[in-house]
Amino acid sequence: MTAMTDNTTHAHAHAPVAHAAQPAAEAHGQQHPIKLYLLVWTLLFVLSACSYLVDYFDFHGLLRWTLIVVFMLLKAGLIVAVFMHMAWERLALVVAILAPPLAVLVLMAMMAWEGEYTNFLRVFFFGA
Amino acid sequence: MTAEHVTTEHAMTEQTLRSRVLGVMADWSSDQRSFKSASWGKAMMWIFLVSDTFVFSCFLISYMTVRMSTTVEWPHPSEIFALDIGGKKIPLILIAIMTFDLITSSGTMAMAVNFAYARERKKAAILMLVTAFFGAAFVGMQAFEWTKLIHEGVRPWGNPFGAAQFGSSFFMITGFHGFHVSIGVIFLLIVARAVWRGDYDVGRPGFFTSRKGRYEIVEIMGLYWHFVDLVWVFIFAFFYLW
């Protein structure tokens, strides 16, 4: 019982600190200048146009893939950071939301390996 | 080893398992929360979106796997999704229009959130209706695209253009995304109606939860909508452009 009382006191001692660190944003919600949204909107339009032009001008190989991925990541970053307000959220939420999807990269690497292998087997045995 | 160290070690062994378990309970029940800037509603929407990210990732990764493993040439999306406009074949134009349409809807949604927090409910509701309109237009264009491809003989099990896996990947990925957009349009209409009537000002109970809503619902709705746009960014890059 003594241990529990100790723990409780401990938690209470920390509580005011946590409250102090809480931003005032909660009461007013996420409100940001419309100008910023319009800027991001324009940027998304420009970036989409750029990725479309990659196809229109028929770029090939490494240049095509690099450009596609760069434009894609820039667009995704703008949407998550500004439209979804991630830039103004606390790090605890940002980490909890953005870190787990990185595990997808591991699955992607494994399945790329698997796909290459299946392709090799098909060519090797069926001479396709 | 210092004398102090020995005492601590001694204290550790003294501490019984029972008291440590009680400590865990005390920690979890101490009125703490991890996401101090996000309400439970917003945190839950984010967690749902993370799980949805995994669903779409699995679709895109399985598409990658079948595309890498097939020995038959993959159909060229650039030509398949081309449209004849004024007697000229423009590559991928329908998909480009759909992309701009969805980005536009994201922009109007972001502004709707702003006006909702500013308590300008008519403006917020109108912007949400505009968002829903662009969403419905997107689904319409997708229906047009599906019809065109089905007429050309694209099926989940084969197509006249190349690798058979193209059809199954296409219908699965775009179908699931289109379903997300459709659900989003329905919820946009429901929330827009509530905002227009001022439900969140008078604390009118919601039709489904029977609980009072807050203007934060518009922001949470926005998170879902922007996520749908976000997924499209990845589908556009990997399925249509690659």
Whether residues B27 and A107 touch (CB distance < 8 A) is answered with: no
Q: Are residues A45 and A78 located together in one domain of the fold?
A: yes
Q: What is the per-residue pLDDT for B5? A: 58
Domain that holds residue B231: 38-241
- Stretches in chain B below the pLDDT threshold 70: 1-15, 28, 30
Contact assessment for residue B64 and residue A52, using Cβ atoms and an 8 Å cutoff? no
Q: What is the rounded distance in angstroms from the CA atom of residue B99 to the CA atom of residue A23?
A: 36
Q: Are residues A102 and A56 located together in one domain of the fold?
A: no
Highest mean pLDDT of the ranges A85-94, A106-115, A119-128, B214-223: A106-115
Q: Are residues A81 and A94 located together in one domain of the fold?
A: no
Residue A62, domain member (yes or no): yes
User: Euclidean distance between the first and final Cα of chain A, in Å?
Assistant: 73
Mean pLDDT of chain A: 80
Whether residues A4 and B22 touch (CB distance < 8 A) is answered with: yes
Q: What is the dihedral of CA A100, A106, A112, A115, to 10 degrees?
A: -90
For residue B62, the chain A residues in CB contact (below 8 A) are 111
CA distances from B26 to A11, A113, B15, B34, B73 (A): 8, 47, 16, 16, 61
Q: What is the rounded distance in angstroms from the CA atom of residue B76 to the CA atom of residue B78?
A: 5
Dump pLDDT digits (tens) for B171-197.
999 999 999 999 999 999 999 999 999
Residue A83, domain member (yes or no): yes
Highest mean pLDDT of the ranges A3-7, A21-25, B96-100: B96-100
Q: Identify the helix (H) or strand (E) that includes residue A37.
A: helix A34-56
| pLDDT higher than threshold 50 for residue A120 | yes
Q: Which of A27-36, A107-116, B103-112, B143-152 has the least mean pLDDT?
A: A27-36
Residue A6, domain member (yes or no): no
- What is the pLDDT averaged over residues A8-13? 40
Q: Are residues A67 and A107 located together in one domain of the fold?
A: no
Q: Determine phi and psi for B205, rounding to 5 degrees.
A: -65, 140
Global pTM exceeds 0.90 = no
For residue A64, the chain B residues in CB contact (below 8 A) are 241
Dump pLDDT digits (tens) for B5-43.
555 555 555 567 788 778 777 776 767 777 777 888 899
| pLDDT higher than threshold 70 for residue A86 | yes
Strand, helix or coil for residue B208: coil
Q: Identify the helix (H) or strand (E) that includes residue B51.
A: helix B40-69
Structure tokens at A97: 């939301």
Q: Which of A52-61, A106-115, B16-25 has the least mean pLDDT?
A: B16-25
Residue B18, domain member (yes or no): no
Strand, helix or coil for residue A22: coil
Q: Please tell me which residue of chain A has the smallest CA distance to B67.
A: A115
Q: What is the per-residue pLDDT for B113? A: 93
Residue B28, domain member (yes or no): no
Q: Are residues A73 and A39 located together in one domain of the fold?
A: yes
Burial degree of A118 (CB within 10 A; 0-12, 13-18, 19+): middle
Strand, helix or coil for residue A33: coil
Residue A17, domain member (yes or no): no
Residue A56, domain member (yes or no): yes
Tell me the CB-side half-sphere exposure of residue A84, using CA atoms within 13 A: 25
Residue B138, domain member (yes or no): yes
Whether residues B237 and A115 touch (CB distance < 8 A) is answered with: no
Q: What is the per-residue pLDDT for B127? A: 96
CATH number at residue B86: 1.20.120.80
Residues making up chain B, counted from first to last: 242
Q: Are residues A80 and A114 located together in one domain of the fold?
A: no
The beta-carbon neighbor of A128 closest among B71, B117, B118 is B71
Q: What is the per-residue pLDDT for A79? A: 95
Residue A116, domain member (yes or no): yes
Q: Are residues A34 and A73 located together in one domain of the fold?
A: yes
Q: Are residues A84 and A42 located together in one domain of the fold?
A: yes
Which of A93, A102, A125 would you mutate first to test chain B, the one with the most B CBs within 10 A? A93
Residue A1, domain member (yes or no): no
B77-101 burial string, b = 16+ CB within 10 Å, else e?
beebbbbeeeeeeebbbbbbebbbb
Whether residues A52 and B15 touch (CB distance < 8 A) is answered with: no
- Distinct helix (H) and strand (E) counts, chain B: 9, 2
Residue A33, domain member (yes or no): yes
Nearest to B32 by CA among A12, A78, A35, A50: A12
Question: What is the count of residue pairs from A and B with beta carbons less than 8 Å apart?
Answer: 193
| ipTM for the complex shown | 0.82
Q: Are residues A59 and A80 located together in one domain of the fold?
A: yes
Structure tokens at B123: 């403006």
Q: Are residues A71 and A112 located together in one domain of the fold?
A: no
Q: Please tell me which residue of chain A has the smallest CA distance to B100.
A: A45
Q: What is the per-residue pLDDT for A24? A: 40
Q: Are residues A77 and A95 located together in one domain of the fold?
A: no
| pLDDT higher than threshold 60 for residue A23 | no
Our count of domains for chain A comes to 2
Whether residues A101 and B104 touch (CB distance < 8 A) is answered with: no
Contact assessment for residue B198 and residue B121, using Cβ atoms and an 8 Å cutoff? yes
Whether residues B37 and A15 touch (CB distance < 8 A) is answered with: no
- What is the pLDDT averaged over residues A77-82? 94
Q: What is the per-residue pLDDT for B104? A: 95
Chain A: give the shortest CA distance to residue B121, in Å. 14
Q: Which of A22-31, A90-99, B66-75, B233-242 has the least mean pLDDT?
A: A22-31
Domain that holds residue A77: 25-89
For residue A11, the chain B residues in CB contact (below 8 A) are 26-27, 30-32
Chain B: give the shortest CA distance to residue A108, in Å. 6
Percent of chain B with pLDDT over 70: 93
User: Residue A42: pLDDT band by 50, 70, 90 thresholds?
Assistant: very high
